Amino acid sequence: MLSDRSRPVIEATLPVVADNIQEIATRFYAHLFGEHPELGDGVFNRGNQAEGSQQTALAGSVAVFASALLKDPEQTPGHLLSRIAHKHASLGIAPAQYDVVHDNLFWAIADVLGKAVTPEVAAAWDEVYWLMAYALVNQERGLYSARGVRPETVWREWEVAEKVQETPDVVTFRMRRIDDRLVKTSLPGQYVTVQVPMPDGVRQPRQYSLTRADDGEHRQFAVKRVRGNGQPAGEVSNLLVDKVQVGDRLTMSLPFGDVVLDDSGRPVVFASAGIGITPMAGMLSHLRTAGSHLPVTLLHADVDEESFALRGQVLDDVRALPGATVHVWYERGAESTLPVDGVHAGMMDLADVELPSGAGYYLCGPLPFMQAVRSALIDRGVAPRDIQYEVFGPDLWQADLLTEPTPDSAFRDGAPQG
User: Is pLDDT at 228 greater than 80 in this prediction?
Assistant: no
Residue range 189-206: average pLDDT? 94
Q: What is the pLDDT of residue 9?
A: 95
Q: What is the pLDDT of residue 72?
A: 80
Cα–Cα dist 16/119, whole Å: 16
Kindly report, residue by residue over 97-154, the tens digit of the pLDDT: 999 999 999 999 999 999 999 999 999 999 999 999 999 999 999 999 999 999 999 9
Is the Cβ–Cβ distance between 294 and 266 less than 8 Å?
yes
The band of 229, judged by pLDDT with boundaries at 50, 70 and 90, is low
The band of 178, judged by pLDDT with boundaries at 50, 70 and 90, is very high
Residue range 367-387: average pLDDT? 93
Q: What is the pLDDT of residue 408?
A: 31
Q: What is the pLDDT of residue 378?
A: 93
Chain mean position to CA 395: 7
Residue 389 is among the residues annotated as catalytic for this protein: no
The whole-chain average pLDDT of the chain stands at 88
Kindly report, residue by residue over 2-43, the tens digit of the pLDDT: 899 999 999 999 999 888 988 998 899 999 999 998 888 888
Q: Which of 140, 166, 235, 305 is catalytic?
A: 140
Q: Which helix H or strand E contains 157, and what residues bound it?
A: strand 155-165
Strands across the sheet containing 360-364? 342-345, 325-330, 296-302, 268-273, 360-364, 387-390
Cα–Cα dist 370/397, whole Å: 10
Q: What is the pLDDT of residue 411?
A: 25
> Residues of the chain with pLDDT > 90: what percent?
70
Select from 3.20.20.70, 3.40.50.10890, 3.40.50.1100, 3.40.50.80 the CATH code of 268-411. 3.40.50.80
The band of 73, judged by pLDDT with boundaries at 50, 70 and 90, is confident
The band of 399, judged by pLDDT with boundaries at 50, 70 and 90, is very low
Q: Which of 29, 98, 330, 389 is catalytic?
A: 98
Q: Which CATH class is domain 6-147?
A: mainly alpha
User: Is pLDDT at 174 greater than 80 in this prediction?
Assistant: yes
Is the Cβ–Cβ distance between 294 and 265 less than 8 Å?
yes
Q: Which fold has domain 152-253?
A: Elongation Factor Tu (Ef-tu); domain 3 (2.40.30)
What's the whole-model pTM score? 0.90
Q: What is the pLDDT of residue 101?
A: 92
**Which phi and psi (to 5°) does residue 415 adopt?**
-85, 140
User: Is pLDDT at 286 greater than 50 in this prediction?
Assistant: yes
Strands across the sheet containing 170-177? 203-209, 191-197, 249-253, 155-165, 170-177, 218-224
SS3 at position 231:
coil
289 vs 98, 281, 298, 325, CA distance in Å?
Answer: 40, 12, 17, 18
Domain positions in the chain are 6-147, 152-253, 268-411
Residue 157 is among the residues annotated as catalytic for this protein: no
Q: What is the pLDDT of residue 57?
A: 74
The band of 80, judged by pLDDT with boundaries at 50, 70 and 90, is confident
Give pairs for 94-99: CB < 8 Å, separation 24+. 94/151, 94/152, 95/137, 95/140, 95/141, 98/133, 98/136, 98/137
AA identity, residue 195: Q
Per-residue exposure over 186-211, b if at least 16 CB sit within 10 Å of its own CB, e if not: bbbbbbbbbbbeeeeeeebbbbbbbb
How far the first Cα of the chain sits from its last, in Å, is 35
Q: What is the pLDDT of residue 395?
A: 57
Antiparallel, parallel or unpaired: β 342-345 and 360-364: unpaired
The band of 361, judged by pLDDT with boundaries at 50, 70 and 90, is very high
Residue range 280-306: average pLDDT? 96
What length does the chain have?
Answer: 418
> Residues of the chain with pLDDT > 70: what percent?
91
Q: What residues contact 41, with CB distance under 8 A and at least 6 apart? A: 202, 203
Give pairs for 5-11: CB < 8 Å, separation 24+. 5/124, 6/123, 6/124, 6/127, 6/128, 7/70, 7/73, 9/120, 9/121, 9/123, 9/124, 10/66, 10/69, 10/70, 10/124, 10/125, 10/128, 11/70
Per-residue exposure over 263-283, b if at least 16 CB sit within 10 Å of its own CB, e if not: eeeebbbbbbbbbbbbbbbbb
How is 237-304 classified by DSSP, letter by letter?
HHHHHHT--TT-EEEEEPPB-S-----SS--EEEEEEGGGHHHHHHHHHHHHHTT----EEEEEEESS
- 65-69, 182-186, 388-392, 410-414 — which is least confidently predicted? 410-414
Residue range 318-341: average pLDDT? 93
Is the Cβ–Cβ distance between 223 and 235 less than 8 Å?
no
Residue 69 has a CB neighbour count (10 Å cut-off) of 23
Residue range 346-370: average pLDDT? 94
